[in-house]
Amino acid sequence: MNFKRVIILDIPSLGIGEASDANRFQSVGADTLGHVLTAINRSVALPNFTDLGLGNIRWANPFEVIAQTSHPRGFFSQVHMASNSQSEFAGLREMFDFQGTDRVETLFGTLKTTQLRNTRVSLLAPYTSYLANQRGVEDKLAIASDQQAFNALRERIELDIPGVIYTRLVDCATAAVDKDVTSYVAALEHIDRHLGRIMDDMFSSDILIVTASYAHDFLMDGPQPTREYLPLLAYTPQVTTGHSLGIRRTLGDIAISALDVFDLLPAKQPSARSFLGEMQ
């Protein structure tokens, strides 16, 4: 498959169950999404998440609300973070940094320095020092709500310019900090509605990656963020039915896959691997 643009949607806080090393981080029993869906006292509508295969990720321990589907439109995976840091921003660095020939480089910086195919990098996110320090990225927008983020994202999708669009949502993370189950579920349903519109707007040469840069199970005691597997859903209009991408061992697979789109794979990157070749 040939792609020319990568659209990354980050939903910080959205963990999907304790990671294999949860005991090292006082996170045994953590399950942000599972606990939220169990705690809410009403039906939950997440048809686009379901359609992409979110329910298929946990085939051995299914969500009570999100059904498995026999013909998911997306490719799906659990991601185990490689970093031992519990910082909210460790996952962000892991997602986009990679070892270049001489030093650690970022996906964003690499695309801008190569100026490959007139690519454009867009960063739609609340302020973080990591994103603010990405040099040479002209299109940066500080966002304060998911609605603002989706409005800006859809505007950029319509332009059909090659490159990377990274959007970091805020409403679920805010609800998690506030320990507000009702607002958390409402934010998920809002994201789900926009997911459907984004998939309708996408061009055949686009790939959408939905993930979370950290987990925050606010319904359990203990240190936060929590050590959980993180979701990875990948969608392209080029494929009608997806499948499992297995367990990914680092969020760095996202940067490596994006570099693979633009034929910029580093010579040696033992800790991360592209999943483009698995999307068949």
Q: pLDDT band at 130, cuts 50/70/90?
A: very high
Q: pLDDT band at 248, cuts 50/70/90?
A: very high
Q: pLDDT band at 117, cuts 50/70/90?
A: low
Kindly report the pTM of this predicted structure. Answer: 0.96
Q: Is the pLDDT of residue 40 over 70?
A: yes
The full set of domains in the chain, from first to last, is 5-275 (3.40.720.10)
The percent of residues above 70 in pLDDT, for the chain, comes to: 98
Rounded average pLDDT over 202-223 = 96
Rounded average pLDDT over 190-202 = 97
Rounded average pLDDT over 121-132 = 93
Name all contacts of 46-53 with Cβ < 8 Å and 24+ positions apart: 46/188, 46/189, 46/192, 47/192, 47/196, 48/192, 48/193, 48/195, 48/196, 48/199, 49/188, 49/191, 49/192, 49/195, 49/233, 52/76, 52/195, 52/210, 52/233, 52/235, 52/242, 53/233, 53/242
Q: What local confidence, expressed as pLDDT, does residue 121 receive?
A: 93
Cis previous bond, 225, omega within 30: yes
pLDDT in tens, 52-111: 999 999 888 888 889 999 999 999 999 999 999 989 999 999 999 998 778 889 999 888
Round the average pLDDT of the chain to a whole number and report it: 93
Both tokens assigned to 260: 């693979």
Cα 167 from Cα 217, distance rounded (Å): 22
Q: What local confidence, expressed as pLDDT, does residue 6 receive?
A: 97
Both tokens assigned to 82: 């490689």
In 15-63, where do the E strands start and end?
none
Q: What local confidence, expressed as pLDDT, does residue 135 receive?
A: 81
Residue 220: phi, psi to the nearest 5? -130, 155
Cα 92 from Cα 127, distance rounded (Å): 13
| CA proximity to 273, closest of 82, 115, 87 | 82
Q: What local confidence, expressed as pLDDT, does residue 116 receive?
A: 63
Q: What local confidence, expressed as pLDDT, does residue 53 receive?
A: 96
